[in-house]
Amino acid sequence: MTSSCAWRRMGSKMTDTAAPPPRIHPFERANLGKAPFRVVGNYVAKYQACPGAPIQPGAACDYCGTGIMDVYVVRSADKREFEVGCDCVARVRQECAGTDFEREARKMHDEINRIKRQAKHAAVDARVARVAALVEAHREELAEIVQPARYLGGRDQSVLRWAEWMLGHAGRKGKVEVCRRIEAIAEERGWGPAADQEVNTMHLDAVMMDRNAGGQ
């Protein structure tokens, strides 16, 4: 008959040699596909029930179910695709810290940050283009409006001269300042709504990345 001490020694030996349980990627644990995962596309989804109604998310995260506007398309190793928000990607990166998936999760998070910067720059450039068109269409009126002396070397100048110089020489931050000034004047004088007030009744604005970039 095996003594209790022998059973304890056998149990200790089995515990020492047993392999640790495998770590499963959070997306895989949620049945969204097999690791590794990568971002293959993105789009903006907005919904407005009627003019004047609040703008709401037009899609839902497949990982947590929360409504999202900035949608990122992720593809798994077994070719399944699903949609998530940037907050869930950040949370998954934290969950993957110290595991075999850490590098992959960090790469996905960095790619989303790159997409967000690119989208922000594109939105600013589009806004600047609209404001430049307003400036060109209302040159005479803008030439009569005096811009405070703190601009253009401390001398009072017309809004037209200041705006043209800034749009031609300033960086994005300076050009956004011009946009705010011109949009305020446009709204005050009834030239049309400011660019950020223009929203369709139902808006689904897709800005998709090339899903075939880097292979299938």
CA distance 107 to 89: 10
In this prediction, residue 23 carries a pLDDT of: 80
> Residue 128: in which H helix or E strand, if any?
helix 102-137
Q: Among 40, 19, 133, which residue's Cα sits nearest to residue 83? A: 40
pLDDT in tens, 20-76: 545 889 999 999 999 999 999 999 999 999 999 999 999 999 999 999 999 999 999
Model confidence, pTM: 0.65
In this prediction, residue 4 carries a pLDDT of: 55
Omega before residue 193 within 30° of 0, cis: no
- Rounded to 10 deg, the angle between the 159-169 and 102-137 helix axes is 150
CA distance 138 to 27: 53
Instruction: List C-alpha distances in Å: 58 to 13, 202, 203.
Output: 56, 9, 8
Token pair 């149990």: residue: 11
CA distance 88 to 39: 13
